[in-house]
Structure 1
Amino acid sequence: MRISVDRDKCQGLGMCEAMAHEFFEVDDDEIMHILEDSPAEEHRTKVHAAVEACPVLALTLTG
Structure 2
Amino acid sequence: MRVTVDKDLCIGAGQCVVSDPDVFDQDDYGLVELLTDSPSEEHRKAVKEAEHVCPARVISVED
Corresponding position of 1:62: 62
Identical pairs, percent: 38
Q: Is contact 2:7-2:33 (8 Å) kept? A: no
Corresponding position of 1:7: 7
Letter in 1 for 2:33: H
Aligned equivalents of 2:7, 2:43: Cα separation in 1? 23
Looking at secondary structure, tell me which structure has more helix per residue.
2
Pairs within 5 Å for 1:24-39: 24-39=24-39
Aligned equivalents of 2:42, 2:29: Cα separation in 1? 31
SS of corresponding position for 2:4:
strand
Give unmatched runs, 5+ long, in structure 1: none
Aligned equivalents of 1:9, 1:58: Cα separation in 2? 6
Q: Is contact 2:22-2:35 (8 Å) kept? A: yes
Provide TM-score, normalisation by structure 1.
Answer: 0.87
Q: Is contact 2:25-2:33 (8 Å) kept? A: yes
